[in-house]
């Protein structure tokens, strides 16, 4: 019978160890911990434990709540009197249940950022001066930094690794997406029909040449990701490269969860490994009773159970490395 739940996997492991014919001296919490250990190793090393995914994220702007004397408008440039930080307002929203308002903004400089309790003023970009009290002004109540100001994107904790950040744009592009000005688009629009009655050799040569130019002059954006922090850093000037609402699309690998896919619990390797871990826990619990003779002449031997489990675990983990683990990706260059 195929297993389709965590409890069915637990029951299967206990039956393999002899339950209910013999008593398995392992607490329910200990069993749950060992199942977690088995699933974690399966996800991190088994080729079925992860799947390639594409992560899409619309970049969010920083926000601040403020109380105002004279309100601001969308498009205004504001400046913090204390921090001297400047930003452009992209949206203004009411705060529910309050007379205060919330500003969504994009930084215009690399200042220290706005801080609570400081005064806000409207900034005249033409004269580089702070306008008088008849212009927009207010007090900052709270600040929440967005993706652009933080310099990183928060990624779900189910992502094992990020391998690539997609770059939209061809040779010579300075924007995120070329749209109508993309070389490939223009070629398809104007010249592709010629290939219906001509050789594709020239097209292949041009595409190869374009790829060489792009590899030489248009570098991929460098990224950093650590699954323990769940933060994807993009090593670029975020303020100058992206706008609020721009999409960032990355390629990565996500953990396959039994919550979403019940077939996980029926994996042959996982069943063997979970059983061995529970057996080791059983032996660990019984080791202190080694040599004690029970009524009927039965002698407890926790050391033997523990030793057998250790050998089984080593064999099963070696099987993972040999048969189920993907080969490492080598870096060349």
Q: Which of 52, 54, 53, 35 is CA-nearest to residue 264?
A: 35
CA angle in degrees (0–180, nearest 5) for 250-252-256? 140
Q: CA-CA distance, 170 to 290, in Å (whole number)?
A: 71
**CATH classification number, 62-150, choose in 2.60.40, 2.60.120, 2.40.30, 2.120.10:** 2.40.30
Token pair 């040999």 is at which residue? Answer: 322
Q: Which of 142, 176, 175 is CA-nearest to residue 62?
A: 142
pTM: 0.77
Torsion-angle region of 218 (φ positive above 0: left; ψ -120 to 50: alpha; else: beta): beta
Q: CA-CA distance, 333 to 321, in Å (whole number)?
A: 27
Instruction: List the chain domain ranges.
Output: 6-49+258-324, 52-59+161-254, 62-150
Q: CA-CA distance, 217 to 55, in Å (whole number)?
A: 26
Q: pLDDT tens, position by position, for the chain (333 residues)?
A: 799 999 999 999 999 999 999 999 999 999 999 999 999 999 999 999 999 999 999 999 999 999 988 889 999 999 998 888 899 999 999 998 888 999 999 988 756 789 999 999 998 765 555 555 556 688 999 999 999 999 999 998 999 999 988 876 444 444 444 445 556 666 666 666 565 666 678 778 877 887 787 777 766 778 999 999 999 999 888 888 888 999 999 999 999 999 999 999 999 999 999 999 999 999 999 988 777 776 776 777 889 999 999 999 999 999 999 999 987 765 443
Strands 247-255 and 50-58, sheet pairing: antiparallel
The answer to whether 26 touches 281, Cβ cutoff 8 Å, is yes
């Amino acid at each position: 019978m195929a297993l389709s739940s965590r409890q069915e996997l637990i029951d299967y492991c206990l039956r393999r160890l002899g339950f209910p014919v013999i008593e398995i001296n392992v607490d329910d919490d200990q069993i749950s911990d060992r199942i977690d250990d088995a699933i974690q190793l399966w996800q991190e090393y088994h080729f079925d434990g992860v799947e390639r995914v594409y992560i899409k994220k619309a970049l969010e702007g920083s926000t601040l709540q403020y109380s105002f004397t004279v309100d601001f408008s969308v498009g205004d440039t504001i400046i913090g009197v204390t921090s001297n930080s400047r930003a452009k307002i992209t949206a203004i929203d009411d705060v529910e249940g309050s007379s205060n308002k919330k500003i969504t903004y994009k930084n215009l400089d690399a200042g220290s950022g706005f801080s609570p309790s400081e005064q806000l003023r409207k900034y005249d970009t033409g004269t580089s001066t702070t306008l008088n009290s008849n212009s927009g002004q207010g007090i900052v109540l709270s600040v929440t930094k967005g993706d652009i100001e933080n310099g990183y994107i928060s990624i779900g904790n189910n992502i094992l690794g990020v391998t690539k950040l997609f770059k939209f744009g061809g040779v010579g592009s300075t924007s995120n997406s070329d749209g109508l000005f993309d070389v490939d688009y223009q070629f398809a629009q104007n010249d592709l029909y010629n290939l219906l009655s001509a050789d594709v050799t020239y097209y292949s040569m041009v595409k190869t040449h374009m790829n060489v130019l792009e590899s030489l002059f248009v570098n991929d954006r460098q990224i950093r990701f650590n699954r323990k922090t769940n933060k994807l850093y993009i090593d670029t000037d975020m303020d100058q490269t992206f706008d609020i609402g721009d999409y960032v699309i990355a390629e990565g690998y996500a953990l396959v969860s039994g919550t979403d896919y019940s077939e996980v619990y029926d994996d042959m390797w996982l069943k063997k490994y979970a059983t061995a871990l529970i057996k080791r826990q059983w032996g660990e619990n019984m080791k202190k009773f080694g040599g004690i003779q029970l009524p009927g002449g039965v002698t407890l031997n926790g050391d033997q159970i523990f030793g057998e489990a250790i050998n089984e675990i080593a064999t099963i983990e070696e099987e993972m490395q040999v048969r189920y683990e993907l080969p490492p990706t080598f870096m060349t260059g």
